[in-house]
Structure 1
Amino acid sequence: MARRTDLLLTALAPAIWGSTYIVTTELLPPGYPMTVAMLRALPAGLLLLVLVRQLPQGIWWARALLLGALNFAFFWAMLFVAAYRLPGGVAATVGSVQPLIVLFLAGALLGSPVRPLAVAAAAAGMAGVALLVLKPSAALDTAGVLAALAGAVSMAFGTVLSRRWQPPVSPLTFTAWQLTAGGVLLLPVALWTEPALPALTQGNVLGLAYLGLVGAALTYILWFRGVARIEPGAVASLGFLSPVTAVLLGWMLLGQTLTPWQVAGMAVALGSVWLSQRVQAGCQTANRSGSSSARSRVTA
C-alpha cells in the first residue's frame, strides 16, 4: 500500500510536466527559453529556501550544485536547444531514451540488477512515445539530436545520483537547494544569450507562476521524494506519462486531433509504465524473500 502511494504521488510530477508545453505556447512570450527556464527555477528555489531556512553543509554544497546542473540547468538548456532545432516529436522521442539510460546507470552506480524485461519495457515506452508524437515528415538535425541525448543523459545521471546521495534533509529542502543552484547557473546564460523580457501581461505572469510553483517546486518535491523511496528504473519509467499528458491536453484544450496511431502509442507507453512497475515490484519481493531466507539460515 505504501509503495502504491509513493508511485501515485511520484507519477503526479511527470503528469504535470506534460502541461509545460501548452502553458509555454499559450501563456508565455516566445523566444526566451533560457530566461523562462531561469525564472522557472530560481524564484521557486529561493521561495523554498525562505520556507526551509536551511543551507547545505560541507560536501552538500558541491553535490547540490552538481545535481542542480544535471536536473535543471544543463537539462533544461539542452531541452530547449533540442526543441528549437528539432520537431517536437523527434525531440520527445530522442529524450524518451532516459529511462533506458537510468537502468544501466543504476546498475553501474547503485548495483541494481539490469533485468531484460525492464529493458524491454523501457524500449517499448520509447516506441510508444514515437507513435504518440512522431510525424512521418519529421526531419533530423545532428545538433538537435545530440542536445536531446545530452539532456536525457543529464537527467538520468541526476536521477541516479539523487538516489545514491541521500541527503540528511527533507525532500522539500533538497528541492530548494537544487532549484536554487539550477536557477543561479541559468542566470548568466539567460542574461548573456537573450534580450530582456518585454513588459509582462497578466497571462505571462500566470504562466510563469504556474511553471515555477507547480511545474517546478511542487512537482520536484514529489519527484525527489519518489527517487528516495522507489527504485530508479521504476521512477524513470514514469516519465513516459509526460508526453501522454501533453497530447491529451492538446486534444482537450486546443482541439488538436487524436489519430489512431496516437491512441496506440498512448496504450503502449502506459503499458510500458505498468510493466516497469511490475518488474521492479517483483525484484523487491525477490530481494525481501532472499533476505528473509538468509536471516532464517543465520538464526537456525
Structure 2
Amino acid sequence: MKNPTVDLANIPLAGDRAWLTPIELGVLAAIWGASFLFMRIAAKDFGALALVEIRLGLGSLILLPFLWRERAKFTGALWLKLAIIGAINSAVPFALFAWSAQRAPAGIGAITNSMAVLFTALVAFLFYGEKIGLRRTVALFAGFAGVVVLASSKTAGASVGGAVAAGTTAAFLYGIGANLVKKHLTGLPPAAVAAATLLCSALVVAPFAIAYWPTQTIPPRSWFAAGMLGVFCTGIAYALYYRLIQRVGAGRAVTVTYLVPLFAVAWAWLLLGEPLTLPMLIAGALILGSVALSQRAAASGAR
C-alpha cells in the first residue's frame, strides 16, 4: 500500500453522492488489505525483488494513461526527482513488505503499514518545521508501543521481529516519501505522479529482479497472486484512491488507513487460515488508535 497522505484541497461532496464514499472506502480497504494476502502467497515463490518488479510494472501500466494525458507537465529535469521519490516511496517499501511477507503473517505487514500516517507527521516535524502538538506526540508514543508489542510477539513459536522491523522501516519511508511529494511535486496531477514514480521504480528494480529471478517453476497460484497484486492492489487501487481524494479530499480519504489491517487480517484468516493473535490485537489497537488520535489532532490544528 502507498502512504495515503496527499496534499490536495478538499472538494465538497455533493449530498446526493454521500452514500458512495463509504462504499469506495470499503472497496479500497478490501483491495489494499488483500495486497498483504497476495504478497504472503507469492513472495515465497518469486522472492521479494522479482515480485516487486511484477507489481511495479503492472501497476505503472494500469496508470500509464493518466501519465500520457499529462505528459507535457513532466519535463526532463523532473524525472530525476521522480526516480528518487519513487525509490523511497515505492520500490524499497514494496521490497521490504514482500520480504516481511516471506517471514510473518499478512496481518503483521498491514498493522505496521498503518504507522505511515504517524511517520509522515514525525518527518514533517523533524525536517520541515511543522508543529506536532501534544496529541500527535502521545499518538506517536502509542504507535511505537504497538510496534514494540508486535515485534516482541511470536507466531507458531517463531519470532516476527525481523518482519516487524522491515514493515516499520517501509512505513517510515512512506512518511519520508509523502513529505517529498508534498515539497517537490505539489501541483502535478496525483495519478500521473503515481504512474511516473511506479514506472521509474520498475526501471530501477529491473536489474536486481533479473539477477534474482527465480529459477524454479512458479505455480499458477503465485502467478495469479502476483498479477492481482500489480493490477488491482497497485494500479486500480491507486486510481480509485486518487479519484476519492479529488472528490472528498485527502482528510476523508485517509480514513482508509483504519480499515486496511482489518481486511488484511480477515482475508488471511479466511483464505490462509492465519490466526489473529493477542499481541496482534493489542498492537493493532495501539497503532490504529494512535493514528485516529493523530488525525483528530491534525483536524483540530495539531493541539
Aligned AA (1:272): S
Aligned AA (1:152): A
| 1:223-260 per-position Cα deviation (integer Å, ceiling 9, x unaligned) | 567889547xx95x864644332222223334444455
Aligned pairs for 1:1-300 within 5 A: 16-26=31-41, 30-50=45-65, 52-53=67-68, 54-55=70-71, 56-84=74-102, 97-128=115-146, 135-136=153-154, 137-139=157-159, 147-148=166-167, 150-196=169-215, 198=217, 201=220, 203-221=221-239, 230=250, 235=254, 239=257, 241-259=259-277, 262-283=280-301
Question: Per-residue deviation at 1:35?
Answer: 0.9
Identical-pair percentage:
25
Structure-2 change in CA distance of 1:92 and 1:254 (3 Å): closer
> What TM-score, normalized to structure 1?
0.72
Aligned AA (2:264): A
Is the 8 Å Cα contact of residues 241 and 270 (structure 1) preserved in structure 2? no
Q: Which runs of 5+ in 1 are unaligned?
A: 287-300
Question: Per-residue deviation at 1:131?
Answer: 5.6
Question: Per-residue deviation at 1:68?
Answer: 1.1
The worse-fitting range, judged by mean Cα deviation, of 122-131 and 275-284 is 122-131
Aligned AA (2:140): A
Question: Per-residue deviation at 1:186?
Answer: 1.1
Q: In structure 2, what is the Cα distance between the partners aligned to 1:267 and 1:147?
A: 20
Is the 8 Å Cα contact of residues 122 and 272 (structure 1) preserved in structure 2? yes
Higher-Rg structure is: 1
> What TM-score, normalized to structure 2?
0.71
Q: Which runs of 5+ in 2 are unaligned?
A: 1-9
**Secondary structure of residue in 2 paired with 1:57:** coil
Aligned AA (1:190): A
What is the RMSD computed on CA atoms of the aligned residues? 4.0
Structure-2 change in CA distance of 1:15 and 1:126 (3 Å): farther
The worse-fitting range, judged by mean Cα deviation, of 50-59 and 40-49 is 50-59
**Secondary structure of residue in 1 paired with 2:301:** helix
The worse-fitting range, judged by mean Cα deviation, of 249-258 and 92-101 is 92-101
Q: In structure 2, what is the Cα distance between the partners aligned to 1:58 and 1:194?
A: 31
Aligned AA (1:139): S
The worse-fitting range, judged by mean Cα deviation, of 160-169 and 121-130 is 121-130
The worse-fitting range, judged by mean Cα deviation, of 182-191 and 166-175 is 166-175
Q: In structure 1, what is the Cα distance between the partners aligned to 2:161 and 2:283?
A: 24
Aligned length: 280
Is the 8 Å Cα contact of residues 241 and 269 (structure 1) preserved in structure 2? no
Aligned AA (2:180): L
Aligned AA (1:64): L
**Secondary structure of residue in 2 paired with 1:283:** coil
**Secondary structure of residue in 1 paired with 2:224:** helix
